[in-house]
Structure 1
Amino acid sequence: MTAHADVIDLAQRLIRRSSRAGIDDYGPVLGVLEDWLAGRGLAYRRLRGDRGGTVGLLIEVAGGRPGPWWALDACVDTAPYGDEAAWSFPPDCGDVVDGWLRGRGAADSKLAAALFCAIAAELHGRAADLHGGLAVLLDVDEHTGGFGGARAYLADAAAVRPSGVMIGYPGLDEVVVGGRGLWRATIAVHAASGHSGSRRTTPGAVSRAARLVRLLEEAELPGAEGEFPLPPKLTVTSCHGGQGFSVVPDLCELGIDIRTTPGFGARAAERLVREAVGELDADVPSPRPTSIDAVASWPPYRLAEGQQPAAALLDAAVREGLTVRPRTAGPSNIGNLLAGEGIPATAGFGVRYAGLHGVDERACLEDLPAVHAAYRRALLALLGPS
């Protein structure tokens, strides 16, 4: 079996082991990986999360000479299927049709996981000549948003801290070198309860929440500035309150997602929300003040031009005949977590794709040889003599 056929075969078997985050047991998909790794003599170990469950596999290839370690990262948990009736093929089929690998996880990121396993096997065979070492993290707690595999890797006292990480999200014409951060909160909007048919006209919690949504969405945000190419963005992502028709609701909860930038970070995001809440409570008082519960915060990041490992990957892709450019992503990703730990990361370079997180997910296998060669070339440059 050729190297690329081996990668595709492993990816197919991974797709056929459903591993939807928070839904499926990860044992079967991990078992496929462990059998493959053991059959090639690659050392690995399971990483445990805070609650003791497995959150990833870690492969380590130690070089025979001193030097920094670098890491590859791909998730093998996936998004849910959504409406299966809308798919034109079974979400766990894992077949290849017209050069496309089909099924949930084909793009994000089981093909990348299979590719990174193959690269680890290749470098294992020439480890004596490498400087430093290579770690491959196969995460099964990524689509939950908990990033448990990455957290466990960084907390593992036995693991060498990497000098940089390349994350295998797909996309052929870009190397993602940054991303907006985020600040998220739930907001509890209160009001006095009562009967909807009473003479009293005091607004209920849902009406107060609607006013707050308007204040938030009308708040002025700065534009993009400096070397960071994206502006901040505020989205009201959820609204829950009330029951039935005859009761004036006394509580309505909002979910707020603010994508942050170096010029508009978490403190600025929180200040904006608190100012809107203060205006609401002053203009439309209620028995209890509106409360804010911050639930998550990630810093924005962008690698500098020439910074590793992005420079090596961009150069390698060009040398393999690809046209690529560095890009800062709108969504946050594991790169933001790593940035908070002072570890530079790329967060996307791979094959072309369609249907990611949606219907009929698939990955273009025509791109696999060039992507494979680019990652291999980049790693050999990083693991070579300094």
Structure 2
Amino acid sequence: MNENLRCADEARTASVVELAQELIRRPSRGGIDPYGPVLGVLEEWLDARELPHRRLRDAAGAPVGLLVEVPGGRPGPWWTLDACLDTAPYGDETAWTFPPACGDVADGRLRGRGAADSKLAAAMFCHIAADLAPRAHELAGGLAVLLDVDEHTGGFGGARAYLADPHAARPAGVMIGYPGIDEVVVGGRGLWRATITVHAPSGHSGSRSTTVGAVTRGAHLVRLLDAADLPGGDDGSGFPLPPKLTVTAFHGGQGFSATPDRVDIHVDIRTTPGFDAHAAETLVREAVTALDTALPAPLPTAVTPVAAWPPFRLAEDAQPAAALLGAAAKAGLTVRAKTAGPSNIGNLLAGEGIPATAGFGVPYEGLHGIDERAHLAELPQVYAVYQRAVLELLGR
């Protein structure tokens, strides 16, 4: 019996890897490649196993994801496994030691863009759905698998379309399959982002005018933002990370002989419960007021907010974190709960009142960089943890 189980586990692991390889071999860089080919691989695989699925589309009708649904036979909440099928760009392809879309296995590692983030997880979650489907009548609620192809763009179109779909059951919680064997991410800082437009009169760089140009005014604003006083350490909310402000872009001017009349600055502020989006916007607008007072210009400096997500932190004894951490412990893994500095799709879900975990998977290298690889030795354990967690959540 044990030999039969071992052979079944090996066959399933091989099948997960084979499907992930096919996904990696269909380039799906966010905002660059068409998503039809990578979605088609999974649609063919799901059709062969008679698993219910459908494409999710945005308001313009473009595909933004794939949704797999396995309804249980008894009433209960639905839970969702989520993994992205789009990827980061390749970057400098000449720096890779293997083709970014090779999808091969070497030295126990699955290689290629998306191996770690997150095509291996997508293949694993589809297999879990296929494993559960024959006994779905025993389960309470249901399992959805969300496969987003608008994640690396920052749009999260697949998740947005899923939550807006009137035919989809709203999930009680989501487990996102980002990689990393040592941690379950249960929280993340939020964000507030804005474009700041700094104005000034244009002119010739060689003129006698002493007018302060937009580049100089913009540089002064950057200094004000860099010197801004943000709270540090514990803000009284129990959140383990402080807020952070970063100027991420500065655009303006061309050539040498003209002083530009406009500079656009991008500001990214990572927020916490004690320093939220309102506090972030207030800080930026106070810096802008200080700029316009110290260095007046014909037009006031404009602040255009472009995105805001709340911070989130899920208690370790709340679902689905408790199920995932408990399943990891039963598998003999030492896994800690982590609040991440970067934001993730869990922030979007938190804004909708949906609890989420955002990371537990195989060890990896080169995520978003060169030579992306996912370790395969731990895949059976990771698979078993997610399957055990799902079964617990579905009342088994």
Q: Distance in 1 between matches of 2:365 and 2:196?
A: 35
- Which residue of 93, 108, 120 corresponds with 1:99? 108
The residue aligned with 2:92 is 83
Aligned residue type for 1:342: G
Deviation for aligned residue 1:50:
1.5
The residue aligned with 1:325 is 336
Tell me whether 1:159 sits opposite 2:168 in the alignment: yes
- Which residue of 158, 175, 198 corresponds with 1:189? 198
Q: Distance in 2 between matches of 1:251 and 1:30?
A: 42
Aligned residue type for 1:36: W
Tell me whether 1:359 sits opposite 2:356 in the alignment: no
Deviation for aligned residue 1:126:
1.1
- Which residue of 220, 226, 251 corresponds with 1:217? 226
Aligned residue type for 2:380: P
The residue aligned with 1:240 is 251
CA contact (8 A) 2:76 2:140 kept: yes
Tell me whether 1:282 sits opposite 2:287 in the alignment: no
- Which residue of 41, 44, 69 corresponds with 1:32? 41
User: TM-score scaled by structure 1?
Assistant: 0.99
Q: Distance in 2 between matches of 1:260 and 1:205?
A: 29
Tell me whether 1:336 sits opposite 2:341 in the alignment: no
- Which residue of 121, 125, 144 corresponds with 2:130? 121
What SS does the corresponding residue of 1:74 show, helix, strand or coil?
strand
CA contact (8 A) 2:199 2:214 kept: yes
Q: Distance in 2 between matches of 1:18 and 1:38?
A: 22
- Which residue of 31, 54, 63 corresponds with 1:22? 31
What SS does the corresponding residue of 1:279 show, helix, strand or coil?
helix
Deviation for aligned residue 1:224:
3.0
Aligned residue type for 1:150: A
Q: Distance in 2 between matches of 1:133 and 1:282?
A: 58
Q: Distance in 2 between matches of 1:218 and 1:136?
A: 45
Deviation sequence 1:217-252 (CA, Å, 0-9, x none): 000110132321111010000001111111121111
The residue aligned with 1:51 is 60
- Which residue of 350, 355, 360 corresponds with 1:349? 360
Give the superposed CA RMSD. 0.8
Aligned length: 385
- Structure 1 runs of 4+ off > 6 angstroms? none
Deviation for aligned residue 1:295:
0.5
Q: Distance in 2 between matches of 1:339 and 1:36?
A: 32
Deviation for aligned residue 1:146:
0.5
CA contact (8 A) 2:186 2:316 kept: no
Q: Distance in 1 between matches of 2:168 and 2:178?
A: 23
Aligned residue type for 1:311: A
Deviation for aligned residue 1:267:
0.4
Comparing 314-323 and 218-227, the one that deviates more? 218-227
User: TM-score scaled by structure 2?
Assistant: 0.96
Tell me whether 1:377 sits opposite 2:377 in the alignment: no
